[in-house]
Structure 1
Amino acid sequence: MSRHDDIQLLRVNYLRGPNMWTYRPVLEVWLDLGRLEEFPSNKIEGFNDRLTAALPALVEHHCGVGERGGFLQRLTEGTWMGHVLEHVVIELLNLSGMPTGFGQTRSTSKTGVYRMVFRARDEQVARAALAEGHALLMAMINADAFDVKAAVDRIRDKVDDCYLGPSTAAIVAAATDRRIPHIRLNDGNLVQLGHGARQRRIWTAETDMTSAIAEGIARDKDLTKSLLKSVGVPVPYGSAVKTAAEAWEAAQDIGLPVVVKPSDGNHGRGVTLDLRQEADVAAAFELADKEGSEVLVESYIPGNEHRLLVVGGQVVAAARGDEAWITGDGQHTVVQLVDLQINTDPRRGLTEDFPLNRITLGEDAVVLLDLQRQGVTPEAVPAAGQRVLIQRNGNVAIDCTAQVHPDVAHAVSLAARTIGLDIAGVDLVCTDISKPLSETGGAIVEVNAGPGLLMHLKPAEGMPQPVGQAIIDHLFDEGETGRIPVVGVLASQGGNHITRLVAWLLHLNGRHVGLACSDGLFLGTRRVEKRSSTRWDAAHRLLMNRVVDAVVVQNDATSILKDGLAYDRCQVGVVTDMAAGVDLSHFDTLTEDQRFKVLRTQIDVVLGEGAAVLNADEPRLVEMAELSDGEVVLYARAEASEALQAHRAKGGRAVFLQGGTAVLAQGASETVGANIAQLAQRFAKAGQASDEATLLAAVATAWAMNISPELISAGLDTFVPELAQ
């Protein structure tokens, strides 16, 4: 079989917002099949068998057929390699733990060249998946060996490096369920929820409501204990020590057995339990001293460790830890038995995909010390039937939310409020969480800021808890979406005039407006950047500004094709023309139908409670009315417009020109509004051409924002156009 040359990846572009393909970010790939254009999937000997053997789950891809096995049917019938690459990349992402259901491949005006897109939550992960998918596809075409597992592992590593952690991802997913937009603010887990003045921020399980003072208190375990004791929350008795000798002296004063731990450690590092001998206390002191600035000796509380999650003063989830034991067989060492009897549990692993951690004896000094206290070494061979304790409190990952006694929940909530944390992970030890602490002798041992959520999201046993939803409900009141009004204006001419006028009217209406247009970037009436701001990044900056409570954005067809929209949804979307004079050949957008598909993006993102503003003098734009989830407001130069008349007959809102004045009509009612002719004259005197249709679009947009006709009229009368530069 002759070898085929590689498919050429001509252009790779990340569309960061809603685009002509979908509402969500995608990676768009322009590829040239070369001679492979003559070889669809059914004309390469053995290709289909090799591909499905490498990726057997391709059978789950419905493709255009709409049912399981749909893609395999397309393979058998014969489909081109651009389409195959789409599905290969999607399947690699699925296998890597980033499920991706969307993809499309379309031919271009050049034979053998295709545009292929797929859903891309993260650009770097998407690029890594593309590279691996490309290599896999060429290997299958040429009957070369390919290690699919290694490819998936490389993509998974990129996911771990680049994507949100599981706790943050759960909160973001809960926000998405409530239609709250989000913006990732760094390469880690700092995320903005909502826009502008209505935004909130999270950093994993910390929020912008989390007090820095409370965090500082939580890090100091001795201070935490003192404050909790003062409000009647049960805590273990103990004291801080500076030497091993002081630790033993304190242990004797407190009463054996005791716990030795660092005062400001985390994740249980350096914590040794149930100490009864001086040598053990001294060894435990050395371990704790390496982990924190101070060492605490506390009374030992019998029972299992529990982690309770408090959000906004309420206990929303609880998990229990358990001991981990091995049983000797007289043949295997302790290390071998740990692997055979504990690490074989499919719930254990090294990544966050697993609710339980894999135990590696050499990496945990506390485990080694516990073995030493039992007179056992990792290389020892326990007798048959001999039980050896490996971990006193293994991973806290057994859900027990439904078992929490109300008195326990009250004590835990009080602990979080006393420290001052809006979100807290409270550690307590007791024998039975379904009974009051006063009965079991249990106590709260730690209060943690920024707690991990994985144990509640993926428990080893029991039901997952909706902790992400609880945090979102804490940050946003019921029905609140964190959105501010966003106006998107798509115009090939006059877009700067429309957006400047709308921003001015919103300003007069009491809004602090952010404006991105070809005249620059504005905050209120102040220009903060002079260069053209019809760019994704300029509009995005406004959505991140915590002062802005309304945003107006000028878009064009090129910016949508290059980057997508900067916002996921908008209150008002405006399209004024079909961009007939704009050269979009670089994007292979040549026909009116292709332009329509690009321009409709602005209308596709209108919120259900919002409105689309369309130019009724452009017949193709009137067709977009049915694409709007919200209301439609039409404008036209003449009242006699057929589209306008039909729209009014249905009770719709419309704006038209009558004697130089804008008339605002709904159904049969009419209100005389702004003096368009005078404003056009003022633009002309300032050296700027602005036709009446442009000014009508501004009036219609303001009305769609529910600004009163009186304020629109007064606002346009007071608007002063800038002198042409």
Structure 2
Amino acid sequence: METDKISIWDYTIFPGRNIYSHRPVMKMIVDIGKYGDIPTKDIKGFNEKLIKAFPGLRTNCCGLGYEGGFLEKLKAGTYLGHVLEHVILEMQYMLGYDVRYGKTRLLKEPNVYYLVFEYKNEVCGLECSKAAVFILNSFIRGEDVNIDEFLDYLRRASQDGELGPSTSAIVEEAKKRHIPITRIGHESLVRLGYGRHSRLIESTLTDATSCISADLSSNKQLTKALLSEHKIPVPYGKVVFSEISAVMVANQIGMPVVIKPYDGNQGKGVFLNLKTNEEIKEAYREASKFSNGIIVEKFVKGRDFRILVVGDKVCAVAERLPASVTGDGKHTIKELVDIVNSDENRGESHEKALTKIKLDSVSRNLLRKNGLTEDSIPEPGQVVVLRQNGNLSTGGTAIDCTDIIHPENAQLAVSAAKAIGIDIAGIDVVAEDISKPITETGGAIVEVNTAPGIRMHLYPSVGKPRNVAKDIVDLLFPKEEDYNFPIVSVTGTNGKTTTVRLIHHVLGLCGKTVGMTSTSGTYVGNKCICRGDNSGPISAKTLLSNKEIDAAVLETARGGIVRGGLGYDLADVGVITNITGDHIGLDGINTLEDLAFVKSLVVEAVKENGAAVLNAEDSMTPKILKRVKVRPILFYKDEEPTQVTRTVDCVKVFTKNGTIKIKDGAKTLDVIDVSDIPITCGGLIECNIENSLAAVSALYALGVPIPVISDGLKSFDDNKGRFNLYKLNGFRVMLDYGHNPAGYRQVIKTCKKLGYNRLIGVIGMPGDRQDSAMRTVGEMCAEAFTRIIIKEDEDLRGRKRGEVAGIFYDAIIKKGFDRNAVTIIEKESDALRAAVEEARSGDLIVMLYEKLEPLQEYLESLGAKNAFPLAVQEKKTFELLA
């Protein structure tokens, strides 16, 4: 039923590279109700309200290449889905995000659309899309909307989705080195890099800091005790749990004193230079809001310095000045605070270089102590201090002092960080002069902070900015090889699993622990850590977070690309084995060109110095090459397809006279004789020759030495579930995962080379393939097999039980196949059992399976032996017998 409003149906978030863009995008499905064929110019007052609310839309190009293009379309007549896309992008732009990419397409006649739009802040993108729908629905009803109120809300919501300033600075520095960034959740926790050398960081807290060290640093009294053991000067003090105790300790120590929570942060509840019992009681009451235990310690006179220690060196020093305003004889303190806060460099929290000053109970108490209120008008030049601490989080400012710190003070700071066990530490020092040793001037280290903020060093109010983010990334990744993590991504219609297995095996011979995702599972080295079809982006992300691996080989399936994009940023090598008509009709893929476009993402998302491996004999390769921006490596068998290989500057990997060769410029290298590669069955299995060529291409691109490639191909003989041949009571059984016409064609071709008395096929296909593909396979089987048993997959993939089998049966019979020689046995294991029970000597049974393990277990229970390594000898023996 059509409605009179826009309704949101669904969202998909693509945080990484995807088929729509190499930048993060969201896909939103909307129903625009009865407005499917009504342009907005025909909705009374709509266009006028739209442009009034969003005047920036006047300059949108809208694909026409010049400003005002969207306005032209709006006046001529455009539709709500298209307008919604532009409003979502415009709202993000108004909030400070430079987003440009958008796309709107009709999904279902006449009113269901999908919109794809770029985002930089996920929370902002989601909230803007929801707000845009609400606003446009209001315009449809003829209602006005206060856009400023929406923007204020969206601005606050967006701040929650931003990385903190410290994390953001580190992430930007990591990006300069092309270190992959993975954000975990919506806080400031990120993973830098992949695999063994990947690091977790949140603000400036790294995964190298232990929980004990972090707890120690937040317990100020324990921190002081440890520092004292290392002869590091700290102020004397005690922990108290009542007002009376606080007064008693203060009088015992001698005034003035400092009161602060023993486990606080950001200067909350800290009171300095307390000189009377009443001040101590009041400070205790405020400090106890943040902690049960309160420290009373000797007040150290001096200026407040923050020393940033990264690893074993001091990287920056800043003097921190408390929040203050300077009188002009005209404005009240409250008005002066508003003037200071109007500075565009001040934000509500940590999102900008400085934080806005807040007039709260702490600042009002301090004013009252000095005989002032927020309504007082200070004299011209009079400095009014509003906080006792200099933390930026409470509105303070900073002066860079890095160049003047005394070396002895720097060494004390490093020693303090090491004593607590923190790799990145903020050391708070009170001293009259940081350029003189505090051991001589009476200064002291008053705190050691885990996860210190670095805004004051990046953006000091006075002095030289210090790129401490670079120092932190240097600490996390001291060597380039620590973040240079090799990735090979393999896609295509057929041969993906075998190709990734080959590459995985050879890289393992290089002394690396190699991770692999595939349709058969996820592997770390040779250990399967997760069984099942793991060829999607989630599996890739999971593997890349594994701290055991040094490299990764990823099988990257079409479905995962369409529904979730890539699970990594950039690969060193992208491989496309081939493109055939599998999956056409699914997920909006209606042609071979559509399928090629989707799979092209794998060779587009490659590092600048990487390589794209393509099948020179595939009809889609010329189209894909137009999208490739890196070095192409083209592979082919025997005859060079000159129309492709001679039109591009490429490396060629090919077979000639039974040998795999590489031609790279002027040099030609011999790699291995095809007959020495076990999975080719002495050259009988042509598709595995192609898979070997693809693997050699990828390995050569990675710089693997030729002898290692050769040894690896020779030693790989366990291609589980692919052309697995078993010998049993005078006949043989082959198990393979052929699941489309191209796969069946290769299986049948191989069987003919192996020889047989009768060829028995146990056949089926996944239910999400097109009827035409099933009919093609059925006809192919009718021509090739002597006896056919049709089975069905357990997962029907949207089909009714018996539907797939029925399509196969009809196609086979229409081809003239003997009705008495074709049977439907829906359960896969029962179908194989029936074929085995009726097999005769010399027969070859071919089983195109859905689930491998139960079938293998059944054959092994009958005493079947793996005949795969003997396949060539088996063929020769059979020919002699024949």
Q: Tell whether the structures are fold-level matches, with TM greater than 0.5.
A: yes
Within the candidate set 316, 336, 342, 1:346 is matched to 342
1:613 corresponds to which letter in structure 2? V
How many Å apart are 1:544 and its aligned residue?
0.5
The 5-angstrom pairing of residues 647-662 of structure 1 reads: 650=649, 652-662=650-660
| Kept in 2: contact 1:356–1:395 (CA 8 A) | no
TM-score (norm 1): 0.86
1:674 corresponds to which letter in structure 2? I
Unaligned regions of 5+ residues in structure 2, if any?
725-734, 736-851, 853-882
How many Å apart are 1:617 and its aligned residue?
0.6
RMSD of equivalent CA atoms: 3.7
1:657 corresponds to which letter in structure 2? T
Q: Which residue of 2 aligns with 1:604?
A: 604
Within the candidate set 703, 709, 715, 1:706 is matched to 703
Measure, in 2, the Cα distance between the counterparts of 1:137 and 1:481. Answer: 50
How many Å apart are 1:548 and its aligned residue?
1.0
Measure, in 2, the Cα distance between the counterparts of 1:73 and 1:198. Answer: 53
How many Å apart are 1:499 and its aligned residue?
1.1
User: Percent identity between the aligned chains?
Assistant: 32
| Kept in 2: contact 1:179–1:481 (CA 8 A) | no
Distance 1:315 1:95, change over 3 A: same
| Kept in 2: contact 1:233–1:415 (CA 8 A) | yes
| Kept in 1: contact 2:679–2:716 (CA 8 A) | no
The 5-angstrom pairing of residues 7-406 of structure 1 reads: 7-9=6-8, 11-31=10-30, 33=32, 36-40=35-39, 42=41, 44=43, 46-58=45-57, 61-66=60-65, 71-72=70-71, 74-76=73-75, 78-96=77-95, 98-106=97-105, 114-121=113-120, 123=122, 125-228=124-227, 234-241=233-240, 244-292=243-291, 294-312=293-311, 313-316=313-316, 318=318, 320-324=320-324, 339-344=334-339, 345-347=341-343, 350-353=348-351, 355-362=354-361, 364=362, 367=363, 369-370=365-366, 373-374=369-370, 390-393=386-389, 395-396=391-392, 397-401=396-400, 405-406=404-405
Distance 1:77 1:414, change over 3 A: farther
Distance 1:183 1:638, change over 3 A: same
How many Å apart are 1:180 and its aligned residue?
0.9
Deviations 1:574-622 (CA, angstroms, capped at 9, x unpaired):
0122342322x34323234433322221111111221110000124313
Distance 1:318 1:346, change over 3 A: same
How many Å apart are 1:511 and its aligned residue?
1.9
Measure, in 2, the Cα distance between the counterparts of 1:383 and 1:555. Answer: 68
Distance 1:557 1:159, change over 3 A: same
Unaligned regions of 5+ residues in structure 1, if any?
none
Distance 1:305 1:46, change over 3 A: farther
Distance 1:39 1:480, change over 3 A: farther
Measure, in 2, the Cα distance between the counterparts of 1:172 and 1:389. Answer: 35
Measure, in 2, the Cα distance between the counterparts of 1:425 and 1:119. Answer: 37
| Kept in 1: contact 2:51–2:57 (CA 8 A) | yes
Deviations 1:96-126 (CA, angstroms, capped at 9, x unpaired):
4554333233456966654421223465543
| Kept in 2: contact 1:655–1:700 (CA 8 A) | yes
Measure, in 2, the Cα distance between the counterparts of 1:393 and 1:262. Answer: 14
| Kept in 1: contact 2:223–2:420 (CA 8 A) | yes
Q: Secondary structure at the match of 2:669?
A: strand
Deviations 1:166-195 (CA, angstroms, capped at 9, x unpaired):
332332232223211122234433221000
Q: Which residue of 2 aligns with 1:672?
A: 670
Measure, in 1, the Cα distance between the counterparts of 2:175 and 2:570. Answer: 12
Q: Which residue of 2 aligns with 1:553?
A: 554
The 5-angstrom pairing of residues 557-596 of structure 1 reads: 557-583=558-584, 585-596=585-596
| Kept in 2: contact 1:318–1:400 (CA 8 A) | yes
TM-score (norm 2): 0.72
Measure, in 2, the Cα distance between the counterparts of 1:140 and 1:432. Answer: 63
Distance 1:9 1:212, change over 3 A: closer
Distance 1:4 1:210, change over 3 A: same
How many Å apart are 1:321 and its aligned residue?
2.1
Higher mean C-alpha deviation, range 367-376 or range 75-84: 367-376
Deviations 1:255-311 (CA, angstroms, capped at 9, x unpaired):
432212233222222221111112222333344455345433333234543434332
Distance 1:451 1:683, change over 3 A: farther
Distance 1:398 1:40, change over 3 A: same
Distance 1:715 1:390, change over 3 A: closer
Measure, in 1, the Cα distance between the counterparts of 2:418 and 2:133. Answer: 54
Q: Secondary structure at the match of 2:427?
A: strand
How many Å apart are 1:568 and its aligned residue?
0.8
Measure, in 1, the Cα distance between the counterparts of 2:631 and 2:327. Answer: 70
Distance 1:216 1:11, change over 3 A: closer
Deviations 1:6-65 (CA, angstroms, capped at 9, x unpaired):
245455322243112222331123445565454445555543432232123445645435
Deviations 1:181-237 (CA, angstroms, capped at 9, x unpaired):
122234433221000112111122111222444334322323433554566655434
Measure, in 1, the Cα distance between the counterparts of 2:135 and 2:376. Answer: 48
Distance 1:390 1:506, change over 3 A: closer
Q: How many residues align?
A: 709
| Kept in 1: contact 2:323–2:390 (CA 8 A) | yes
Q: Which structure exhibits the higher relative contact order, with contacts defined as CA atoms closer than 8 Å and separated by 6 or more residues?
A: 1
